[in-house]
Amino acid sequence: MSDAPVQLDVHDVTVTYPNGNTALQDASFRLDGGTICALVGINGSGKSTLFKAIMGFVRPSKGSVQISHGTVAAAQKRNLIAYVPQSEEVDWTFPVSVWDVVMMGRYGYLNFLRIPRAEDRRIVEESLARVGMLDFRDRQIGELSGGQKKRVFLARALAQRGRIILLDEPFTGVDVQTESTIIELLRQLRTEGHLMLVSTHNLGSVPEFCDQVVLVNRTVLACGPTLEVFTEQNLTKAFGGVLRHFRFDESTVQKHDGRTVTVLSDDERPLVFGKGGHLEFSQRQGREEIVKQRAEEPDDE
């Protein structure tokens, strides 16, 4: 049952908070299993609100969220949706160990008294091993680094066996190495048919690991494959004037630099657009088709 393909269908969702603030209006998109989809938008654009609507924490005043052709409540009962919270949402001084937290992913499968069976312990152990945190199983959760904390909650989502995993800002406060570990794990999960929706404002990392993008600003502005949606025009629409630019044609970069220009940044990956605003990837490997196709376009110099 848990290996059946999943589908997430957000249809015309409008969310109005009790204070009358409409955070999302007529938001629609559809995703199938086997994808890592980025949810991109400025602060306050409604990313978390969209998550809350998908998780069933807020009830849309209009429209509906359907998961594998059923309601959100039905999906919860089947443990289909797992959630990796933002670090700020967690009380890190709480007296629970890494093991306890990951076991909380199993509660939906446990009996009335929530006493774990051998099978549940095996799954928790396996999930911890998968994120490389098994050695930390007895640590209190506050005694971990930012990246380790993230991995523990990812392990909880794995232990829950959720087919849809929502990650709210997973790379905030995480070191580069953990970021790579998490990305690698998400890719594995994609091949296993999971559906991952990752909210982020780290634009540069999106082309690296997300195959689809949903752009939001109080509604869904665009959605679809990264290459089509992640264009300069669309991002300008989503972010307005808040993005910083470095335009090579206006810069001191000249012809003699050729293509040996190096772009450095401290923690966030840079996002680079080519002629006419199409997306550029940092690695040619695996993108041979795009490279070939663009090579055939006429040069303008």
Partner 1 sequence: MIETLLTPLHYQYMVKAILVSGLIGAVCAFLSCFVTLKGWSLMGDALSHAVVPGVAIAYMAGLPFALGAFLTGLLAAVGMGFVKKKTRLREDAVIGVVFTSFFALGLLLISLYPSGIDLRTIIFGNILGIADPDIWQIVIISAVTLTVLGLKWRDLLLFCFDPNQARALGLNVTALHFTLLTLLAATAVAALQTVGACLVVAMLVTPGATAYLLTDRFGKMLAIAVSMGTGTSLVGAYASYFFDGSTGGCIVVLQTVLFLLALVFAPQHGMLAARAKRLAA
Amino acid at 264: L
Q: How far is the CB of 115 from partner 1 (least distance, A)?
A: 8
Residue 266: both structure tokens together: 């401290």
* Site membership for ligand ADP, residue 23 (CB under 6 A): yes
d(CA 16, CA 25): 8
Residue 44 contacts which entry, partner 1, ligand ADP, Mg ion, none (Cβ below 5-8 A, type-dependent) = ligand ADP
Q: Which residue has the tokens 């098994």?
A: 134
Residue 23 contacts which entry, Mg ion, partner 1, ligand ADP, none (Cβ below 5-8 A, type-dependent) = ligand ADP
Concatenate the DSSP letters of all residues of 226-276 into one string.
HHHH--HHHHHHHHGGGS----GGGSS--GGGTT------SSSPP-EE-GG
d(CA 261, CA 258): 7
* Site membership for ligand ADP, residue 242 (CB under 6 A): no
Q: How far is the CB of 47 from Mg ion (least distance, A)?
A: 5
Q: How far is the CB of 210 from partner 1 (least distance, A)?
A: 22
d(CA 32, CA 213): 13
Nearest to 194 by CA among 1, 9, 30, 36: 36
Kindly report the length of the chain.
301
Nearest to 2 by CA among 78, 72, 97, 58: 78
| 57 vs 248, beta carbon nearer partner 1 | 57
* Site membership for Mg ion, residue 48 (CB under 5 A): yes
Residue 45 contacts which entry, ligand ADP, Mg ion, partner 1, none (Cβ below 5-8 A, type-dependent) = ligand ADP
Concatenate the DSSP letters of all residues of 20-53 into one string.
S-EEEEEEEEEEESSEEEEEE--TTSSHHHHHHH
Q: How far is the CB of 84 from Mg ion (least distance, A)?
A: 13
- DSSP 3-state percent helix, strand, coil across the chain (nearest 5): 40, 20, 40
296 three-class SS: coil
d(CA 97, CA 57): 26
| 7 vs 22, beta carbon nearer ligand ADP | 22
CA dihedral 98, 100, 102, 105 (to 10 degrees): -160
Q: How far is the CB of 39 from Mg ion (least distance, A)?
A: 10
Tell me the site size for Mg ion, rule CB under 5 A: 2
* Site membership for partner 1, residue 83 (CB under 8 A): yes
Q: How far is the CB of 23 from ligand ADP (least distance, A)?
A: 3
Residue 269 contacts which entry, partner 1, ligand ADP, Mg ion, none (Cβ below 5-8 A, type-dependent) = none
Q: How far is the CB of 24 from ligand ADP (least distance, A)?
A: 8
**Number of residue whose CB is nearest Mg ion:** 48
* Site membership for ligand ADP, residue 202 (CB under 6 A): no
Residues 101-120 that bind partner 1 (CB under 8 A): 104-105, 107-108, 112-114
| Chain positions contacting ligand ADP, by CB under 6 A | 17, 19, 21, 23, 41, 43-49
| Chain positions contacting partner 1, by CB under 8 A | 18, 55-57, 73, 76-77, 79, 81-83, 85, 89-91, 94-97, 100, 104-105, 107-108, 112-114, 140, 156, 160
